[in-house]
Amino acid sequence: MSESNGSGAIPAALAEIIAEFKAADDREKLDLLLEFSDELPDLPERLEHLRDEMLQVEECQAPVGIHAEKQNGHIHFYFAIPESAPTVRGFASIMLEGTQDATPEQILQIPADFYLEMGLQRVLSPQRLNGIGAILAYMKRLALQAMDANAA
């Protein structure tokens, strides 16, 4: 699972974020998560009409909408998450930054429990961790759909 095992399963940008969290103590992990939450971009105006049609991550306590677009072989994700859900926004922001310029194939290779390397299980409840895992699972579902659309 580790970026240091040479498997290449984790995109470089995400590996850098994992290392940053790994080096932080528990209090700093929460602060980092909140910083990422503040950095999550709003849904672009051109996608606002899709807000109600976005794939909903049902496992999260907060409403989480996710949309993906594939351009030039890379996949880009967009999230609609209320500001009242900073933990979920933080994780979505980590995934957004960590998967920038990734291909659908690279998204599919990210281990489902990669966040354990970050030590998040020490600072978040199991329910929140389930939501985090669910966001990645939905990203993988959209990556598969993008690959299938190209194959058709």
pLDDT tens per residue, range 14-73: 999 999 999 999 999 999 999 999 999 999 999 999 988 888 898 888 889 999 999 999
For residue 7, name the pLDDT band (cuts at 50, 70, 90). Answer: very low
Q: Name which CATH class applies to 3-151.
A: alpha beta
Which pLDDT score, from 0 to 100, does residue 111 have?
Answer: 94
* pLDDT for the residue 151: 60
Domain boundaries in the chain? 3-151
Average pLDDT over residues 84-101: 94
What is the chain's mean pLDDT, rounded? 89
Q: What is the pLDDT of residue 61?
A: 81
Q: Tell me what pLDDT residue 152 has.
A: 53
Q: What pLDDT was estimated at residue 45?
A: 95
The pLDDT of residue 3 is 38
Own/partner pairs for 39-42, CB < 8 Å, 24+ apart?
39/93, 39/97, 40/79, 40/81, 40/89, 40/90, 40/92, 40/93, 40/96, 41/96
Flag whether pLDDT at 1 surpasses 50.
Answer: no
Q: What is the pTM of this model?
A: 0.88
Mean of pLDDT values over 126-151: 88
pLDDT at 70: 92
| First vs last C-alpha separation in the chain | 32
- Does the pLDDT of residue 6 top 80, yes or no? no
pLDDT at 142: 95
